[in-house]
A = this chain, B = another copy of it.
Amino acid sequence: MQPPFHRLVEFVPLSAEEAEMARGWLVDSRRIARGKPIRQEGEPVKGVFFLLDGWAGSSLLLRDGRRQIVKVHLPGDMLGFPSLALSHAGETLEALTDATICSFPNAAIGRMFRELPRLAMALFLSTQKERVALMQKLSWVGATSAMERLTAFLLDLHHRLQAAGLAQAGCFDFPITQQQLGELLGMSTVHINRTFKSLDETGCISRGRGRIEVLDFAGLQRLAASFPPDFAGHDAWARLDNSSRF
């Protein structure tokens, strides 16, 4: 199976040498069972992770026991970068399905910056893009209705699954519970359920045992009034690589 490097090469195509090295990183992978933590909030930050297979979640715990799932990670995503600037992790990483990850120690990141500036830049851009995604999620949660949030999430998810080669013809696995969906979108399980049901009844999607099929993209997009335009900039590297006065 081809390792999911689509997120890594999005901004900077890897040289043969870099690709070889990247493949070497994957030898030491680890399997995590559904529901198990990869790293808990508050633990010392020893490195970051690369999600090879399965879904994972980043979440924050609130004092009252609630938690907010901040992001659902798909195969090819890098986990744990935000905490790199902290001594102790600011986020919990958890397997949402059975998952396979591999780890990179802190020092590997430092070394990359010193020795592989192109790759470091790619990584940098990739995390900036995550930041945009996070900003968009904040705007959904802060300023839209339950239905808009749900549809926007589904559209975004489909988009990302497709990029990872995990969706075909609008059809994809959907292995997360409504409880998790509630924690992700900032609403109660009950309301998720009702909203989901009423979305189902519009005919735009159809649900079945852990899978979802999108039947009407245009309809979904109409419901997700706030779904943002895609300003993807795959030429970002070119724009940055241009030498010029510093």
Contacts and interface: CB of A to CB of B under 8 A. Distances in A.
A211 interface: no
Question: How many A residues touch the partner, as a band?
Answer: 35 or more
A97 to B, nearest CB: 22
A15 to B, nearest CB: 15
B117 A114 contact: yes
One complex includes copies of this chain to the number of: 2
Contacts of A240: 84, 106-107, 109-110, 113
A163 interface: no
Contacts of A63: 225-227
Interface string A131-146: 1101111110111100
Interface of A: 11, 42, 45, 58, 60, 62-64, 66-68, 70, 81-91, 105-115, 117, 120-121, 123-132, 134-139, 141-144, 183, 185-186, 225-229, 231-236, 239-246
